[in-house]
């Protein structure tokens, strides 16, 4: 079967049976190609990297650095701009604790938005506690987009960093990153983008986007957990001090002084996530074969279909813009999202079960803005199809009957 067959789930062992997985925004299921690559890396091909002089270690080192090259090409960057991290959360914390502590001081300001994931809020709050920088919050438009007109009015030369999500993990709204970069740069600020939800859905080109930092995780990209990426412009990386200390990130160590390896190696202390990086590269190869243009079109179609079906009900409140990408958040009147999620996971009369996310989605400030404590969230992947939507709608009907 070709990996370009978007509507079939056969390549995903985790989707066997009459199970409808609509929680891809939390983590994506893995295609067999990624599972095979990970198993081979952990078994048949396994050795450490950057250390051994024996052949298998050398081969694994080549494969590991090839994964860095594959990742760079995937996002339109260069391999010496790619730092492997444990995920997007660590990538953002790295920027906060290395670049932030070096460049920010009391009197400086950071601009976030209402819809940010906690991973793009808390690291900056921790930094603010240590440095005295102030945090401003950009509002949203009426339909749930980051209001860049408001951002333009808010930004001043005191702002040194703007940190925004490319695609909201709750609303599916898409940021005009290139415009956000222009606005940030006009006042001398850097732009960091949380790309977790965008990377599996949108073709990326770091040069065209012109942001300064871009962070994403492999596990939302059909790859393994435990690995992610910080991309940053090379001159910025070169000027950043190490965050973690240990092996592999050094040039020379003495008790009097230690000198460090060049970027990106200086940010990869210790034995790296070898197996996971190779699994991520396999996921990128798989997704490249499918084609991100087709992936985006597929998820936009499913999102539009589900929003249309839900908007026809008078007991559902929809959140976010009509053209949200891959993610639909909603509330069913009189039913807590956790109850809805629990009932959907119970086997229906046709034997089907549906998995959605229910909760605040690590975006509690956004929940406060929406006036709810939680939402139900259905999110799509390349393996999603109309049958998943049908099963969800049947499950909502069953839930409505239970709650009268």
The residues that are catalytic are: 362
Q: Which of helix, strand or coil describes residue 41?
A: helix
CA pair distance 63, 45, nearest whole angstrom: 10
CA pair distance 180, 184, nearest whole angstrom: 6
Contact predicate 171/115, CB 8 Å: yes
CA pair distance 320, 171, nearest whole angstrom: 5
Taken in order 308, 312, 315, 321, the sign of the CA dihedral is positive
CA distances from 87 to 6, 200, 244 (A): 27, 15, 15
Element (H, E) at 265: none
Locate 195 and state its tokens.
């790309």
Count, residues in the chain = 404
Q: Cite the beta strand spans of 105-220 per DSSP E.
A: 109-113, 134-138, 159-165, 190-194, 213-217
Q: Cite the beta strand spans of 145-204 per DSSP E.
A: 159-165, 190-194
No. of H helices and E strands in the chain?
A: 14, 15
Strand duo 228-232 + 190-194: pairing: unpaired
């Amino acid at each position: 079967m070709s990996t370009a067959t978007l509507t079939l789930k056969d390549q995903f062992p985790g989707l066997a049976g009459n199970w409808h997985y609509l929680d891809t925004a939390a983590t994506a299921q893995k295609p067999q190609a990624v599972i095979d690559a990970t198993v081979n890396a952990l078994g048949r091909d396994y050795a450490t990297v950057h250390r051994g002089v024996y052949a298998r270690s050398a081969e694994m080192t080549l494969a590991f650095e090839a994964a860095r090259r594959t990742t760079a090409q995937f996002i339109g960057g260069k391999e010496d701009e790619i730092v492997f991290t444990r995920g997007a959360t660590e990538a953002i914390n790295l920027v906060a604790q290395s670049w932030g502590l070096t460049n920010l001081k009391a009197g400086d300001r950071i601009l976030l938005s209402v819809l940010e994931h906690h991973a793009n809020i808390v690291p900056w709050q921790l930094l603010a506690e240590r440095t005295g920088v102030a945090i401003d919050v950009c509002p949203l438009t009426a339909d749930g987009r980051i209001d860049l007109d408001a951002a333009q009015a808010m930004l001043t030369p005191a702002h040194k960093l703007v940190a925004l999500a490319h695609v909201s993990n709750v609303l599916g709204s898409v940021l005009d990153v290139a415009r956000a970069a222009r606005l940030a740069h006009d006042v001398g600020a850097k732009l960091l983008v949380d790309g977790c939800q965008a990377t599996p859905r949108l073709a990326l080109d770091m040069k065209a986007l012109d942001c300064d930092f871009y962070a994403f995780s492999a596990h939302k990209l059909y790859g393994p957990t435990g690995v992610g990426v910080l991309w940053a412009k090379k001159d910025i990386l070169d000027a950043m001090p190490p965050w973690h200390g240990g092996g592999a990130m050094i040039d020379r160590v003495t008790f009097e002084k230690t000198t460090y390896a060049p970027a990106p190696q200086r940010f990869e202390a210790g034995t790296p996530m070898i197996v996971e990086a190779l699994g991520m590269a396999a996921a990128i190869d798989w997704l490249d074969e499918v084609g991100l243009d087709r992936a985006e079109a597929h998820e936009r179609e499913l999102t539009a279909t589900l929003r249309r079906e839900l908007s026809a009900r008078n007991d559902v409140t929809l959140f976010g813009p009509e053209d949200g990408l891959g993610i639909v958040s909603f509330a069913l009147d009189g039913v807590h999202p956790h109850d809805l999620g629990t009932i959907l996971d119970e086997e229906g009369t046709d034997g089907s079960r549906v998995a959605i996310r229910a909760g605040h989605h690590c975006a509690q400030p956004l929940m406060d803005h929406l006036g709810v404590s939680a939402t139900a969230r259905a999110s799509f992947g390349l393996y999603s199809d109309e049958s998943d939507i049908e099963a969800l709608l049947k499950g909502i009907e069953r839930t409505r009957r239970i709650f009268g």
